[in-house]
Structure 1
Amino acid sequence: MTDWIEHFRAAACGLTIAHVWRGHGSVLFIELGALTPTTRRNGYPGEPRGEIGLMVEWSWRIEDGRSEPPRVFRRPFGLGQAAKAWTSAWA
C-alpha cells in the first residue's frame, strides 16, 4: 500500500491544486496541475481534468481550527502551497 502512496506523492509534488469539484453524493474531486477541458456525453461542458486527479468518497468532512485532524493531514506530503497552508494550522 505504501508504494502507490509514494508514487502519487512523487508525481503530485510541485503541482498546484487547480480545480476542486463535487460529484454525485458526497464525492469530492481534486484536480492537480494543468487542466484539460472535457465534454459530457450530452455535449455540454464537463468539469476540467488535471494532470493528476484525487477522488475522495464515502465519508469526509471539513473541520475548523479547533478540530483534531486525522493523522494523515498533520504533515503536508508535497501537494504544493495550498496543502501546506491548509495543514500548517495543525503542524
Structure 2
Amino acid sequence: MNSVRATAYPEDADYTISEEEHDRLWRVQQAASLLATLNHDIATRAGISHDGIAAVADFMREELLDIACSARHLREASKPPTGADLI
C-alpha cells in the first residue's frame, strides 16, 4: 500500500502554503479581528496602551511577510495581473 498521497491543488492556484503557514495566517486574522473590535473606550478601560496595539500590528506584519516569503511557487500565472494590479 502506498502511503504517499498526491496533493490536489485548485487548477488556478499559482502559489501554495503549508498547513503550518495556514495556521499562522489564521492567527494573524484572529489578531486583526481583535484589533478591529477595539475602540478608544474599550482599550482605555482594559489598560491597553498604544505600544500594545503597535506590538500586535508589528507581529501581524512580520508574520504576513514571513508567510508570503515562504509561499511555494507552483507554476507561472495563467492570467498575469494587469499593470493596475501591480501598484
- TM-score > 0.5 by shorter chain: no
Which structure has the highest helix share of the two? 2
Name the TM tier (shorter chain): under 0.3
User: TM-score, normalization: structure 2?
Assistant: 0.21
- Structure ID, larger Rg: 2
What TM-score, normalized by structure 1, do the two folds share? Answer: 0.20
